[in-house]
Amino acid sequence: MSAAPSFPFTALVGQPRLQLALLLAAIDPGLGGVLVSGPRGTAKSTAARALAQLLPDAPFVTLPLSATLEQVVGTLDVEGALRDGSVRLAPGLLARAHGGVLYVDEVNLLSDALVDAMLDVAASGVNIVERDGVSHRHVARFVLVGTMNPEEGELRPQLLDRFGLFVALDNPSDPSVRAAIVRARLAYEADPAAFARQHADQQATWRQRLQRARALLPALSWSDEVFQVAATLAHRAQVDGVRGDLVLLKASRAHAAWLGRECITPEDVHAVADMALVHRRSASSPAPAPQPVTNAARDWGGAPEALTGSVGDAARASEEGAVAADGHDGWGALPPQPVDMMGSAAWKGWPIKKA
């Protein structure tokens, strides 16, 4: 008996910043992954698992809390060396995740050495295993998605800074939203396959768009104006070093590629600045003035109707709740109505990097 299909990424409603962050990391895995913070039941694992469905033949690898460093990065095959004298690598979870998504739940509860190793490989795309004087390297290019519940502990600032993008989720405050989630959960459990078929066409459209964005990425470059805007925002946030500047520029390039632009614009920088800088800003940094939201930025970047969905599609998604857990993340609590994806959120209430 085949497993039930995962909840479609295109059916997620109410968490546009999370969707955008995951898409940007999928377009350019070199961003260093996405850290998602929020309470239980806010669709963290549901969204990560759904992202893998947009990637071609992508594995979805979950890192268990009990994993050791050798199990993650791999180690030399000692038994093989003793048996026939050959030196081979026993692949780890990073090798298995190549081309897909590596999902790390409760990343704040893992050892610093383990998190540091994963972040190194996520940013570089290369895993190096060294043991007993022998060194082996292999390509490991994947989308790293880490999640954490802030009530269960914090991530050290040194490791927090290593994650490329950051998104904070909240529980729905509207009772009607919670009712829509329950309806969606019951509908999904009744017939997951039918629910997946309903969104199959839009899934295919987004999958193709993601591949086009990946292909377009190397052709885009940053203008002097874009460099200046990024530097100004990073300086205003008082981030240490230039990692925040680099991530901000890479994220703005991925954003421009997702929108199919021919060049990167300051609007792209502003659209991703919150996700790239919020977890790096110092306590004394002032909150930036809210950026205006253009008409093209009120949906998925002014995309064709086949991608953004018509008003009727949105209404139908709202009626169904358009989100449910796939059996791996509680209730997947997401509000039923779409909200602005591209506008910059206020910095008030966001986590501040401790000194």
Helix axes 311-320, 175-190, angle to 10 degrees: 90
142 with 122: CB under 8 angstroms? yes
Sheet with strand 165-168: strands edge to edge: 60-63, 101-104, 143-148, 34-37, 165-168
From 207, 243, 261, 298, the catalytic residue? 243
145 with 104: CB under 8 angstroms? yes
Task: Encode burial over 247-256: b for 16+ CB neighbours within 10 A, e otherwise.
Answer: bbbbbbbbbb
7 with 322: CB under 8 angstroms? no
Residue 261 annotated in active site = no
Q: Among residues 237, 41, 54, which one has the least CA distance to residue 143? A: 54
Give the CA distances from residue 129 to residues 29, 86, 135, 257, 267, in Å, rounded to whole numbers and listed in that order.
21, 16, 6, 34, 41
**Residues carrying an active site annotation:** 243
